[in-house]
């Protein structure tokens, strides 16, 4: 999803670099065409987790946020989006990412509580300072410049509507939605999300490294 969003921004003003990136994406899709997302519950009905992450930097220092939501161990919602606002620090970016993840979690919550009753979602972030700021927002000088709309997550945590926890970066599944990663990092994340790699991919992987650059071939139908 991150690659799609990045390429879509240049759909009406492309150059050779974008064409090479598109071919790289096509080759990745070709080598993962037999990959499947397995729907197999392995958790309790009240288990809801939202991984929220962000990437601050790149062109214009814009915020790229992403999150993925799990219910009973199943990946049920995900999103990746580039924001128009310019941020001053990584902590601010991660704090705002928590708010975006919370919005996705509330969508799941409102749909499930009608069936299951009260659920307390767990939101996971890999930024320790952002986690500490939540619940103590009035005493943090660095957080006072953040727009009011992003402080909803603080109120939800204080009122115990959601739980907020720190997660190690190597286990931050939302990382895949915020930046370009190499295959060695992508595969464990996909497996953790319920994706399985078929025999065709294993065979192709022996002779083709999708992290290397590919020779550009223009599709026959273009």
Quick one: pLDDT band at residue 81, thresholds 50, 70, 90? confident
At 201 the pLDDT is: 39
Same domain (yes/no): 204, 183: no
Domain count within the chain: 2
Same domain (yes/no): 48, 20: no
Q: Lowest-pLDDT range, 30-44, 57-71, 76-90, 128-142?
A: 128-142
Q: Is the whole model's pTM more than 0.95, yes or no?
A: no
User: What are the tens digits of pLDDT across the range 104-157?
Assistant: 777 777 777 777 777 888 889 888 877 887 766 555 555 555 655 556 777 788
Task: Please report, for the domain that includes residue 129, its CATH number.
Answer: 3.30.420.10
What value does the mean pLDDT take over residues 74-101?
Answer: 76
Same domain (yes/no): 105, 205: no
What value does the mean pLDDT take over residues 33-37?
Answer: 74
What value does the mean pLDDT take over residues 75-87?
Answer: 78
Quick one: pLDDT band at residue 208, thresholds 50, 70, 90? very low
Q: Whole-number mean pLDDT of the chain?
A: 72
Same domain (yes/no): 180, 105: yes
Same domain (yes/no): 106, 17: no
Same domain (yes/no): 28, 133: no
Query: What percentage of the chain carries pLDDT values higher than 90?
Result: 1
At 21 the pLDDT is: 81
Same domain (yes/no): 154, 179: yes
Question: How many other C-beta atoms are found inside a 10 Å radius of the C-beta of residue 144?
Answer: 9
Same domain (yes/no): 125, 71: yes
Same domain (yes/no): 208, 171: no
Quick one: pLDDT band at residue 168, thresholds 50, 70, 90? very high
Higher pLDDT, 220 or 96: 96
Residue ranges making up the domain that contains 182: 40-195
Same domain (yes/no): 143, 52: yes
Same domain (yes/no): 130, 180: yes
Same domain (yes/no): 45, 24: no
């Amino acid at each position: 999803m991150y690659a799609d969003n990045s390429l879509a921004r240049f759909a009406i003003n492309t150059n050779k670099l974008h064409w090479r990136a598109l071919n790289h994406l096509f080759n990745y899709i070709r080598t993962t065409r037999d990959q499947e997302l397995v729907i197999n519950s392995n958790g309790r009905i009240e288990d809801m987790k939202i991984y929220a992450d962000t990437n601050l930097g790149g062109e214009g220092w814009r915020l790229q946020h992403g999150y993925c939501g799990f219910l009973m161990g199943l990946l049920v919602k995900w999103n990746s989006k580039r924001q128009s606002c310019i941020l001053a620090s990584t902590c601010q970016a991660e704090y705002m990412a928590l708010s975006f993840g919370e919005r996705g979690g509330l969508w799941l919550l409102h749909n499930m509580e009608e069936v299951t009753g009260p659920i307390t979602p767990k939101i996971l972030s890999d930024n320790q300072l952002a986690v500490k700021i939540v619940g103590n927002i009035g005493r943090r000088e660095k957080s006072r410049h953040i727009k009011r709309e992003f402080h909803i997550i603080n109120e939800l945590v204080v009122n115990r509507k959601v739980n907020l926890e720190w997660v190690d970066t190597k286990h931050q599944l939302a990382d895949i939605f915020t930046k370009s990663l190499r295959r060695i990092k992508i595969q464990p994340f996909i497996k953790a999300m319920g994706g399985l790699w078929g025999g065709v991919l294993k065979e192709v992987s022996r002779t083709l490294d999708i992290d290397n650059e590919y020779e550009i071939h223009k599709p026959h139908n273009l």
